[in-house]
C-alpha cells in the first residue's frame, strides 16, 4: 500500500489526487491522507505531496468538465469536513466520477458517493447554523469582532456570507478551534489567515468592551423570555449547546 500525504485544504487534496494518478499505481493500492492527521501503518510506503497550484487547477477543471459544477461544490465542502478520511473519500469519488460522468451524484448506493453526500450536507448545515448564531461585538477600535468554534473548517463559507452582507464594514471572525481568522476591510477585500493563536487575538482586541449594544441585547433577550414557557429540550433541538458559549445572550 502507498499512502500519499497531502496538505490541508481542497487544493492540497486535489494535488494528492493528481499525484496518485501520475504515479501509475493501481488505485486499489493507493490511499490519500492528510499529512497532519494520518496514523502511520506498518508495511506502508509514504509519499509527500507538494502544494502546486497548477495541479489543483487541472484536477478541478477535470471535475467540472466530466462531472459537473455541482459535484465540484460537493467535493469542496467535503474537503472542509472534520473526518481524517476525507481525502481518501474524495479520491474514490473522483475515480468513480471519471468513469461515470455526470450521473455520479445520483449513485448514492456507492459508499464514496454516499460519504461525500453526507459530508457535504453536514458541512453545509454547520455553516448555515453559524451564519444564524454568530454574534458580533463592536470593539473600541470600531472593528466588529465575532468568535466561533465549529467542528468543521467552515470559516470560509461563513466569511463569504458576511462579506456579501456587510461589504462596507471592518470585521473579523475568529475560529478558535482551527486557529484561523477571517479579516474583512471596508474596501470589500478580505482574507483568511491560518495559525492565529487565541492569545494574539485577545491582545489585539485590547481590554474593555466598547459596544454598548452588548448589554442592551442581553437585557432584551432575558426580558422577553416567558419563564412559564421555558422548554430546554426544544431549545437544545433548535440551538445546540455547543454554539451557546459564543453567543452574547448566553454569556
Contact status, residue 210 vs residue 139, Cβ threshold 8 Å: yes
- The pLDDT tens digits of the residues spanning 82-108 come to 999 999 999 999 999 999 999 999 999
Average pLDDT over residues 138-167: 92
Across the beta sheet with 171-175, the strand order is 137-138, 144-148, 171-175, 180-184, 190-193
pLDDT of 4 reads: 95
- pLDDT in the model for residue 209: 60
Mean pLDDT of 209-235: 82
Whole-prediction pTM: 0.89
The answer to whether residues 85 and 119 touch, using CB atoms and an 8 Å cutoff, is no
Contacts 24+ apart (CB under 8 A), 25-31: 27/91, 27/95, 29/1, 29/2, 30/1, 30/2, 30/3, 30/4, 30/91, 31/1, 31/2, 31/3, 31/4, 31/88, 31/91
User: From the CA atom positions of the chain, what is the Rg in Å?
Assistant: 21
pLDDT tens-digit map of 4-42: 999 999 999 999 999 999 999 999 999 999 988 888 888
Query: What are the strands, taking DSSP E only, across the chain?
Result: 2-6, 30-34, 45-48, 137-138, 144-148, 171-175, 180-184, 190-193
Of residues 214, 202, 142, the one with CA closest to residue 174? 202
Mean pLDDT of the chain: 91
Residue range 241-249: average pLDDT? 89
Bridge partners (DSSP) of residue 145 are 137, 172
Residues 184-205 pLDDT 10s: 999 999 999 998 888 888 777 7
Pairing of strands 180-184, 190-193: antiparallel
Q: 111-133 and 69-78 helices cross at what angle (nearest 10)?
A: 70
Amino acid at each position: 500500500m502507498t499512502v500519499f500525504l497531502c496538505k490541508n485544504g481542497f487544493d492540497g487534496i486535489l494535488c494528492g489526487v493528481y499525484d496518485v494518478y501520475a504515479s501509475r499505481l493501481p488505485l486499489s493500492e493507493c490511499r490519500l491522507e492528510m499529512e497532519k492527521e494520518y496514523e502511520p501503518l506498518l508495511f506502508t510506503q509514504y509519499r509527500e505531496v507538494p502544494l502546486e497550484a497548477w495541479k489543483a487547477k487541472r484536477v478541478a477543471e477535470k471535475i467540472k468538465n466530466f462531472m459537473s459544477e455541482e459535484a465540484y461544490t460537493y467535493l469542496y465542502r467535503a474537503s472542509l469536513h472534520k473526518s481524517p478520511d476525507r481525502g481518501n473519500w474524495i479520491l474514490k469519488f473522483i475515480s468513480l466520477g471519471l468513469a461515470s460522468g455526470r450521473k455520479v451524484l445520483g449513485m448514492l448506493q456507492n459508499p464514496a458517493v454516499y460519504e461525500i453526500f453526507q459530508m457535504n450536507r453536514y458541512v453545509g448545515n454547520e455553516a448555515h447554523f453559524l451564519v444564524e448564531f454568530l454574534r458580533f461585538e463592536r470593539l473600541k477600535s470600531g472593528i466588529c469582532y465575532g468568535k466561533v468554534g465549529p467542528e468543521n473548517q467552515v470559516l470560509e463559507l461563513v466569511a463569504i456570507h458576511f462579506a456579501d452582507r456587510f461589504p462596507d464594514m471592518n470585521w473579523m471572525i475568529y475560529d478558535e478551534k482551527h486557529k484561523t481568522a477571517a479579516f474583512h476591510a471596508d474596501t470589500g477585500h478580505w482574507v483568511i489567515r491560518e495559525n492565529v493563536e487565541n492569545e494574539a487575538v485577545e491582545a489585539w482586541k485590547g481590554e474593555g468592551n466598547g459596544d454598548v449594544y452588548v448589554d442592551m441585547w442581553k437585557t432584551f433577550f432575558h426580558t422577553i423570555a416567558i419563564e412559564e414557557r421555558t422548554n430546554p429540550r426544544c431549545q437544545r433541538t433548535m440551538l445546540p449547546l455547543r454554539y451557546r458559549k459564543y453567543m452574547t445572550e448566553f454569556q
